[in-house]
Structure 1
Amino acid sequence: MNIISVIHNEKELHWRQMLKCVWSLSIPAMLAQTTYIVMEYIDAAMVGSLGAAASASIGLVAPVLWFLYGIGMATVQGFSVQVAQFIGAKKLLYSRDTFRQGLICVTAFAVLISVIGVYISPYLPGWLGATPEIYVGAYDYFQVYMFGMPIVMLRILSTAMLQSSGSMKSASFFNSIMCVLDIGFNALFIFSSGYVAILGIDVWWPGFGLGVKGAALGTITAEGVTACILLYLAMLRRKYTRQKDGMKWKLTWACLRDALKISCPIALEQGVLTGAMIAMMIIVAPLGTVAIAANSFAITAESFCYMPGYGIAIAATTLVGQSIGAQKKKFAKGFAWFSLGTGMFTMGTLAVIMYVLAPEVFAFLTPVKNVQDLGTEVLRIQLLAEPLFAVSIVGAGALRGVRDTLFSSVMNLVSVWGVRIPIALYLVGIYGLHGAWTAMCLEICFRGLLFLVRIYKQKWENRGSME
């Protein structure tokens, strides 16, 4: 289905057509997110085999990486949302120029983040309350990942540009390949060389035995290979973002102004959410290595439920953005609601599956029985909130398509820091890690209701000029 043609040429869309459009973009995006889940599970299992301390060292710095990743995503979306709307308006020269400016700005930003990250890496574990047994591993993992941040950001940018132009399948396929590469590179860098049994045959494996540091090296290497492929597709193959000889590589105030209008609220939103994760880690860290490891594994396990929601959110941003660009307000509203329903159904169903399979999932992720039991218990608390979690995730994606990004930022600030953190501070002293996850569950339900009201009241008008 050529969705861009459908949006431009159809005067009315039956609900079945809208649902088909949502699913046709959502399924490839969800598959890509699913491959991330598989990668996270296998990565966690690889590191988990090294012991609870190795898992805890990565879990300690993971929220900071999510914070930086989220800010980078906000920078990318400042340009990708514009591209989606320009494509919807059939302004290909504008979409191509916006991509070029995005390349310049995202690369510069990523280099800056990389330099800052490498500089603070020796001090970060101490700031987060690391115990001596996990300090070095946390430092090694974070430092290596920071060196590779420009590579990660270029992969994110090229993926977003392909998705904004409707090329979900290509973006999803090669991001899936990245996950396969990540598994191979992780095995190469994490474990020592030696013979391994494969299908009953002893095969020599040339491992480097770098442990936790090897996990970061494996991920960055896989990111680099994938970034090269996706940049090639976005810059030379996809007509909506294709770059040709003679095109000027310069920044314009109009593009940067619109990018800032879109990115700043999203960056605030991501900063609020991931900043809260850092605060939660500081709250959890005094509970000890087992609690840190269980918390980290529970977050990984929950991704099985919520990562597909982010795939649907990407589809919502694309569909709403292109509808707004084509001046089809009714289409934008319909796509937003169908995306929301799809997200709630998908994440709610996955939450039921995960609730049943949680003990088996944790047994796969770690051999440490105490970590398995604690992780299963806290995860099951959070799974009750997944349908409303879907509302906040997909709703934010739909609102980005209409450039209504400030609401998400403000509501996340109010909800996370006004509800989650205070409740967690109170409950963690009484119930330990269970209290922290109860606070998370209550806050996500509250936030989901706020987004549901916003989507209902949204006028679905373009809030920014595309000229």
Structure 2
Amino acid sequence: MAIPLGAARGRSSQRSAVLKLGLPAVGEQLLSLMVGLVDTYVVGHLSLAVAAANGYDRQIALAATGIASQVTWTLITFFMAVALGSTVVIARFVGASEREQANQTLRQALLIGLAMGLLSLFLAYTFAPQLMDLLGANAQVRQYGAGYLRISALSMPLMAMLYVGNAALRGSGDTRTPLKVMLVVNGINAGLSLLLVNGYLGFPAMGINGAAFAAMSGQGIGGLMVLATLIRGRSGLKLDQLPRPNGNLIWRILRQGLPYGAEQFIFQAALLIFIHLINDIGTAAYAAHNTIITIESISFLPGMGLAVAATTLVGQHMGANQPQQASESGFEAFRLGAIFMGAIGLLFVIAPEVFLRFFVADEEVVRLAALPLRMVGFAQPALAANFIFSGSLRGGGEPKWPLISKMLSVWCVRLPLAWLLVKQFELGLNGIWLAMCTDFAIQGTLAWWRFRQGKWQSAKV
């Protein structure tokens, strides 16, 4: 249901509204990331006997799953764009009390999402080895990563329904239902991963393919659950008829979502070059980098969840013609995000090895990753600003600014600086992460500056 907008006037009321939406969204983001966290944990503690029987060691296993997951996330941007667009447009209609228009938007979003999911499945399954090559995988990593990718990609159409359906519910002001769905997704993924990777309780020891099968099963069932929920009706949204294409609504969704998709695609394209730089350092460096990324995602959770709340609240307030409350929602979400993420970052600075050893048992990986993880700890306020103010801008109908700022910062700062620090100054993985943290600081500053300007308040959705 929608947040009562008229009541959200004072700072305490704004904080309550942000937390009401944001905390379940943080939980949902945690559970979304848990799929990758569980896979990294289980693969990082892969039985040496199982690894040897499958022809690889732990470093190869971590690199194969990491690169395959990177390919998956690149393809997921197709329907993540639709998901973001549906959140923004539905939030506007809910704020304006136009529920039928919100339901029409839901139907169109699911239709586009299904098409994107099928396209992603085709690309991942057909071109898995070539996609692994694009990220610089060596022969062994390419072989095992392609198998992992093909298995996990089987759920992509239903994964699209999961992402788009949950995003639509968030736009209506319901962040609890997506949280419940992701609890089931993670229960299935965690249970099957623990049983299938090393072969416990009589189940076959499938190695990294077991982790892929577990992720595919959990996300596929999650997609079915979201569709069943929407068919029954939840939070004012109801999928009560088969969708028929509506050009106007499709364009409104894509106009808001495509810049986000382009933003993510440009970012993922930059990562292709980035990963080549890391792979040139060595397999252990890539395994360390992938582990840092996994742990870093923990610190993202408050920012990502509160960005969801900011997108929804800013969109609903603008739909109700309340620009001042929309602005206050964005700034209050940032204040809370900076506090939460700063606290997590402090732990990274104080004890990075504790986090690293939880996920991997390889001491060389721990040694390489310790200093970069400390850098991530110091970058938390900038990351909070980037996530939350970018989400606020999207909710306000200005999706192009995050795209422009990311394109400039990633391609004009992160990549050239990383090349300089790695190739010229030979700083290895430390140089990679110094360039990344510099990029974080620039993007956060630009997002804050643009939101503070207030030009988004005159944007049309």
Aligned residue in 2 for 1:226? 222
- How far has the Cα of 1:144 moved from its partner? 1.6
Q: Check conservation: 1:258, 1:464, Cα contact below 8 A.
A: no
The answer on 1:155 being equivalent to 2:162 is yes
Task: Indicate whether 1:403 and 2:397 are aligned.
Answer: yes
1:50-199 maps to which residues of 2 (within 5 A)? Answer: 50=46, 51-193=58-200
SS of 2:397's equivalent in the other structure is coil
- Partner of 2:379, secondary structure, is helix
Deviation for aligned residue 1:318: 0.6
Q: Does structure 2 retain, via aligned residues, the 8 Å contact 1:155–1:223? A: yes
Distance (Å, rounded) in 2 between the aligned partners of 1:291 and 1:348: 26
Q: Distance in 1 between matches of 2:187 and 2:95?
A: 34
1:89 maps to a residue whose letter is: A
- Give the count of matched residue pairs: 448
Secondary structure at 1:126 match in 2: helix
Hey, what does 2:455 align to over in structure 1? 459
CA distance in 2, matches of 1:457, 1:363: 44
Q: 2:217, 2:340 → 1: CA distance?
A: 32
CA contact (8 A) 2:199 2:205 kept: yes
2:158–2:224 contact (8 Å) kept in structure 1? no
Q: Distance in 1 between matches of 2:458 and 2:73?
A: 30
Asked whether the 8 Å contact 1:76–1:160 carries over to 2, the reply is yes
Contact 2:307 2:388 in 1 (8 A): yes
1:303 alignment counterpart: 297
Structure 1 segment 439-458 matched on structure 2, within 5 A: 439-458=435-454
For 1:407 and 1:126, locate their aligned partners in 2 and report how far apart those are by CA, in whole Å. 32
Q: 2:407 aligns with which of 404, 413, 418?
A: 413
Structure 1 pair 239–168 and aligned structure 2 pair: CA distance change class (3 A): closer
Q: Structure 2 residue aligned with 1:381, among 375, 380, 390?
A: 375
Measure how far apart 1:234 and its partner are: 2.4
Letter in 2 for 1:55: L
Assess if the C-alpha contact under 8 Å between 2:87 and 2:312 holds in 1.
no
2:335 pairs, out of 338, 341, 349, with 341
Contact 2:79/2:164 (CA < 8 Å) preserved in 1? no
With normalisation by structure 1, the TM-score equals 0.92
Deviations 1:315-359 (A, max 9, x none): 111101111111111111110111111111111111112222321
2:314 to 308, 317, 320: 320
Q: Distance in 1 between matches of 2:244 and 2:84?
A: 19
Which amino acid is the alignment partner of residue 240 of structure 1?
G
**Alignment check: 8 A CA contact 1:71 1:270 kept:** no
Mapped partners of 2:80, 2:133: distance in 1: 27
1:393 aligns with 2:387: yes
Tell me the SS of whatever aligns to 2:203. Answer: strand
The change in CA–CA distance for 1:58 and 1:306 in structure 2 (over 3 A counts) is same
> 2:232 touches 2:238 (CA, 8 Å); kept in 1?
yes
Q: Is the 8 A contact 2:2 2:174 kept in 1?
A: no
Assess if the C-alpha contact under 8 Å between 1:151 and 1:220 holds in 2: no
The structure 1 residue matched to 2:287, chosen from 293, 299, 313, is: 293
Please tell me whether residue 283 in structure 1 is matched to residue 277 in structure 2. yes
CA distance in 2, matches of 1:461, 1:250: 32
1:212 and 2:208 correspond: yes
Letter in 2 for 1:229: M
Instruction: String of CA shifts for 1:191-230, please: whole Å, max 9, x gaps.
Output: 224xxxxxxxxxxx13222211211110010112222222
Q: Paired residue for 1:19?
A: 15
Q: Distance in 2 between matches of 1:268 and 1:38?
A: 25
Query: What displacement does 1:15 show?
Result: 0.9
Q: Is the 1:313–1:394 contact (alpha carbons within 8 Å) kept by the matching residues of 2?
A: yes
In 1, the alpha carbon distance for the partners of 2:192 and 2:420 equals 42
Give, as a single letter, the amino acid of the residue that structure 2 aligns with 1:106: G
2:217 alignment partner, SS class: helix
Q: Which segments of 5 or more consecutive residues in structure 2 lack a partner in the other structure?
A: 47-57
The structure-2 alpha-carbon separation of the partners of 1:315 and 1:220, relative to structure 1 and needing over 3 Å to count, comes to same
* Residues 21 and 173 in structure 2, CA contact (< 8 A), matched pair in contact too: yes
Q: Is the 8 A contact 1:60 1:292 kept in 2?
A: no
Moved more, 80-89 or 41-50: 41-50
The CA deviation at 1:240 is 2.0
Counterpart CA distance in 2 for 1:272 and 1:69 is 13
In structure 2, the partner of 1:201 is none
What is the TM-score when the length of structure 2 is the normalising length?
Answer: 0.93
Shift of 1:85: 0.9
Query: Is the 2:349–2:375 contact (alpha carbons within 8 Å) kept by the matching residues of 1?
Result: no
Kept after mapping to 1: 8 A contact 2:288/2:368: yes
Q: Percent identity?
A: 26
Alpha-carbon distance between aligned partners in 2 of 1:38 and 1:234, rounded to the nearest angstrom: 24
Moved more, 44-53 or 291-300: 44-53
Q: Which residue of 2 aligns with 1:329?
A: 323
Partner of 1:436: 432
1:424 and 1:120 mapped to 2: Cα distance?
A: 29
Partner residue, 1:259: 253
The runs of at least 4 aligned residues of structure 1 exceeding 6 Å deviation read none
Deviation of 1:3 (Å): 5.0
What is the SS of the residue equivalent to 1:240? coil
Which is worse superposed, 411-420 or 367-376? Answer: 367-376
Give the letter for the 1:444 counterpart: F
State the Cα RMSD in Å.
Answer: 1.7
Contact 1:3 1:21 in 2 (8 A): no
Structure 1 SS opposite 2:129 = coil
Structure 1 Cα separation of the partners of residues 167 and 184 of structure 2: 17
Query: 1:397 and 1:390, CA in 2 relative to 1: closer, same or farther beyond 3 A?
Result: same
Separation in 1, partners of 2:20, 2:400: 28
Quick one: which amino acid aligns to residue 281 of structure 1? I
